[in-house]
Structure 1
Amino acid sequence: MTQKRATARDVAQAAGVSKWTVMRAFTPGASIADDKKERILEAAATLNYTPNLLARSLAKNLTHQVAVFVDDFANPQKLPYLEALTTRLQAEGIVTMLININKHFDHVGAVINADQRQVDAIVLFGTAFRNETLMDKRLGRITLPLYVLARDSQIDGVPAVVCDAQLALTEIVNHLHQRGYRRPGFMSGAHVLSTALRRQHYFREFWTQHGVSEIAEMSADRYSHEAGAYAIRAYLDVTPAEERIDVLMCENDILALGAMDAIRGTYGLRVPEDIAVVGFDNFELGGTPAYGLTTYEQPIDRMVDEVVGMVMGRRTAESIMLPGRLIVRTSA
């Protein structure tokens, strides 16, 4: 048997006040006489009453819920972002609704679902959400605020908070060129996600500025250790030793770690003596002595602060690019 939940009306009757006075008693900073508040809190304790936040939110046309779309769970670097994002939102009194975008549940279905639950906004975290999706007839007149985190926005009018890829790749390529590398290769992730990062674009552009036009390109089907290892093996299996790259830039650290393990374990080559490796993200495992991965660290805390500021209306909703920092270790 379940006990009926006490309501604000029940507390009001027990305390001899109105329902609205009860609501003020549980609203921080609201004006209410001390004796009334004390009487209300005693009645609430007796009835085991707690405020219904959902009902209160709906009355204000706000649910204090934000939907976060993620479509790349193979990448463990997502976790630090999600931890920071949910921590900041919870500190603002916002509940995070995590929605898994996959082959069974696409972006359109996710937007419809989030809208039906009356979330206040949607954060597109590392998802390949495109402008044409907004034209889908199933969306009707949905006008939920959208924000993109950690990836360039490909949607007109939707702001993105990203690490400055142009600055990052300038620093990375300059570092590699100064170290004497001249036969670069680039390993990208899934095409629809990779395009929005623009790291490969700038890698190619800046090597061309250094007089290097031939760049070996490898593609992993997803951001995972296994995919990184598979992509470099596919390249090394068909490339003669004298024609191989001398440095590999991977689109993120997870691909880089997989590539390093395959280079050293499967082929017995040395890193960086035979092939140097660079990643992107500064994933914790990459900094261990087993890898010593040279990488580029994104300013996660600042990026999350900016997007939460936009969600809360404290910052202008506009795209922002923030600088990260190059971390040089032993792999390149």
Structure 2
Amino acid sequence: MSKSSRATAADVARAAGVSKWTVTRAFTPGASIAEHSRERVLQEAAKLGYRPNLLARSLATKTTNLVAILVDDFANPYKLPVLEVLTQALQAEQMAAVLININQHFDHLSAILDADQRQVDAVILVGTDFKDEALNEQALPASRPPLYVLARESTIAHIPAVSCDARVSMAEINQHLWQRGYRRPGFMSGPRSLSTALGRKQHFNTFWQPHCGAPVPELRAGSYDRNAAAQVLRAYLQHTSAAERIDVLMCENDALAIGAIETARHEFGLRVPQDLAIVGYDGDELAATPSFNLTSYRQPLPQMVAALIRMLKGELPPQSLNLPGELLIRGST
């Protein structure tokens, strides 16, 4: 074998004095093979620089160990830790991620069809704007890979979702704010999506509207971006007298809350929390810094990803799960 050629399983088999199928079993997790044979194969493979051809293996196993991850809101800083934990967990199970950027030129249906052509084993939706008409069973090919939603709720019956329990988390947040004496709440929302809804606003309003006797004001940022949060809060504060303003603002995620804190403090001179208390959601590391000291709710990201991985491996039936997180009480409330 020349130095420029790539070592094959046959080369390793000859060097180790075993059959080609023994080499295959040595690199197959859980395969039946004597330990001394496996060690000899791995030693010779290391000498030759041999690595199994995963593409060729996929033809035999009919699985590629590839998982497509669809993301449509890269402006949301929480996506980075989500992708970090998710890809690390996939790699630990010998799976690899194919990241697909959803944008105005490449929609969700196009991405799913593209992923199907690449023979991925599953598609994970990690974003906000997944529309019913694009994801209904009639629009998708019958042979498509299974779809999952991570870190958001799904309202489409055939797409399971693993998310933080909105009912439990908002009950904890609402109780905390009520005990602190806040009585004029507002809610800052992000993108308005259809198929992957967030129950945070619903559960917040369900608690506060009867307690306050009036609808909860909604500040619609339209995206999970601190600049969008700054713009919508700026407009609210400019057009609302101090006597009529809310005394606590619940933000749909930490990116919005950080933008709100910066605007309230530096543009209007408001004290947080004395003049305006602010709450976020996600448990982002930046929110915990002294500059923001933001009360937030940490999503159980490792547990959510672990449950999703078990579904991908067939150890858990595909199903929607809502897992409890942790309320992080800090100085912003």
CA 31–198 in structure 1, closer or farther in 2 if over 3 Å, else same: closer
In 2, the alpha carbon distance for the partners of 1:299 and 1:38 equals 39
In 1, the alpha carbon distance for the partners of 2:63 and 2:73 equals 29
Write the deviation string for residues 300-328 of structure 1: whole angstroms up to 9, x where unpaired: 11111111111111112111111122221
In 2, the alpha carbon distance for the partners of 1:8 and 1:160 equals 40
Corresponding residue for 1:315?
316
Corresponding residue for 1:153?
154
Task: Between 219-228 and 244-253, report the one with greater CA deviation.
Answer: 219-228
Corresponding residue for 1:208?
209
In 2, the alpha carbon distance for the partners of 1:224 and 1:171 equals 25
In 1, the alpha carbon distance for the partners of 2:160 and 2:259 equals 33
In 2, the alpha carbon distance for the partners of 1:165 and 1:137 equals 29
Write the deviation string for residues 159-218 of structure 1: whole angstroms up to 9, x where unpaired: 111111111112212221222212111110111279711211111111023244232211
In 2, the alpha carbon distance for the partners of 1:159 and 1:34 equals 40
Corresponding residue for 1:88?
89
CA 293–194 in structure 1, closer or farther in 2 if over 3 Å, else same: farther
Task: Between 130-139 and 174-183, report the one with greater CA deviation.
Answer: 130-139
Corresponding residue for 2:178?
177
CA contact (8 A) 2:69 2:100 kept: yes
Residue 268 of structure 1: CA displacement?
A: 0.8
CA contact (8 A) 2:254 2:283 kept: yes
Corresponding residue for 2:51?
50
Aligned residue pairs total 332
In 2, the alpha carbon distance for the partners of 1:23 and 1:206 equals 59
CA 291–36 in structure 1, closer or farther in 2 if over 3 Å, else same: closer
Corresponding residue for 1:244?
245
CA 34–288 in structure 1, closer or farther in 2 if over 3 Å, else same: closer
Structure 1: unaligned runs, 5 residues or longer: none
CA contact (8 A) 1:190 1:222 kept: yes
Aligned letter for 1:282? G
Aligned letter for 1:51? P
Residues 15-54 of structure 1 correspond to what in structure 2 (within 5 A)? Answer: 18-32=19-33, 44=45, 47-54=48-55
Residues 43-122 of structure 1 correspond to what in structure 2 (within 5 A)? Answer: 44=45, 47-122=48-123
Residues 248-259 of structure 1 correspond to what in structure 2 (within 5 A)? Answer: 248-259=249-260
Considering only aligned residues, what root-mean-square deviation do their CA atoms show, in Å? 2.5
Aligned letter for 1:125? V
Aligned-partner SS, 1:127: coil
Aligned letter for 1:69? L
In 1, the alpha carbon distance for the partners of 2:43 and 2:292 equals 60
Corresponding residue for 2:326?
325
In 1, the alpha carbon distance for the partners of 2:42 and 2:175 equals 65
Task: Between 45-54 and 60-69, report the one with greater CA deviation.
Answer: 45-54
Aligned-partner SS, 2:187: strand
CA contact (8 A) 1:280 1:295 kept: yes
Residue 53 of structure 1: CA displacement?
A: 1.6
Residue 48 of structure 1: CA displacement?
A: 3.9
Structure 2: unaligned runs, 5 residues or longer: none
In 2, the alpha carbon distance for the partners of 1:325 and 1:45 equals 46
In 1, the alpha carbon distance for the partners of 2:48 and 2:287 equals 54
Corresponding residue for 2:164?
163
Aligned-partner SS, 1:248: strand
Corresponding residue for 2:288?
287
In 2, the alpha carbon distance for the partners of 1:110 and 1:239 equals 44
Corresponding residue for 1:301?
302
CA contact (8 A) 1:131 1:156 kept: no
- Is the aligned partner of 1:199 residue 2:208? no
Residue 99 of structure 1: CA displacement?
A: 1.2
CA contact (8 A) 1:126 1:193 kept: no
Aligned-partner SS, 1:197: coil
Residue 47 of structure 1: CA displacement?
A: 4.9
Aligned letter for 1:294? T
In 1, the alpha carbon distance for the partners of 2:23 and 2:11 equals 10
- Is the aligned partner of 1:225 residue 2:243? no
Aligned-partner SS, 2:69: strand
Task: Give the TM-score taking structure 1 as reference length.
Answer: 0.91
Write the deviation string for residues 88-138 of structure 1: whole angstroms up to 9, x where unpaired: 111111111111111111111111111111111111113332332135877
CA 38–290 in structure 1, closer or farther in 2 if over 3 Å, else same: closer
CA 216–55 in structure 1, closer or farther in 2 if over 3 Å, else same: same
Task: Between 74-83 and 14-23, report the one with greater CA deviation.
Answer: 14-23
Write the deviation string for residues 41-77 of structure 1: whole angstroms up to 9, x where unpaired: 6765665432112211221001011111111111111
Aligned-partner SS, 1:110: helix
Residue 27 of structure 1: CA displacement?
A: 3.0
Aligned-partner SS, 1:296: strand
